[in-house]
């Protein structure tokens, strides 16, 4: 994943570590909540 942005000039990514399933689930649920609370929702 560290090479994710190698092909795009001026862009980079820094991997700071991996976390477990509980942290992943919390991140997903937080994103869902942000979407629900957004005034303008993107049309997918």
Its domain, for residue 13, covers 1-38
Question: Which residue has tokens 């303008």?
Answer: 40
- Tell me which residue of 19, 24, 18, 26 sits closest to 2, measured CA to CA: 18
DSSP string, 1-44: -TTTTTTSTT----------HHHHHHHHHHHHHHHHH-SSPPP-
**Is residue 15 in some structural domain?**
yes
**Is residue 43 in some structural domain?**
no
Q: For residue 7, what pLDDT is reported?
A: 87
**Is residue 44 in some structural domain?**
no
pTM beyond cutoff 0.85 = no
Q: State how many domains the chain has.
A: 1
**Is residue 4 in some structural domain?**
yes
Residues 9, 5: Cα–Cα separation, whole Å: 8
Q: For residue 30, what pLDDT is reported?
A: 98
Instruction: Encode the chain (44 residues) as per-residue pLDDT tens digits.
Output: 778 788 888 888 888 888 999 999 999 999 999 999 999 988 87
């Amino acid at each position: 994943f560290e090479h994710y942005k190698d092909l795009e000039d001026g862009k980079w990514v820094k991997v700071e570590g991996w976390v477990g399933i509980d942290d992943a689930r919390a991140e997903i649920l937080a994103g869902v909540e942000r979407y629900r609370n957004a005034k303008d929702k993107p049309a997918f």
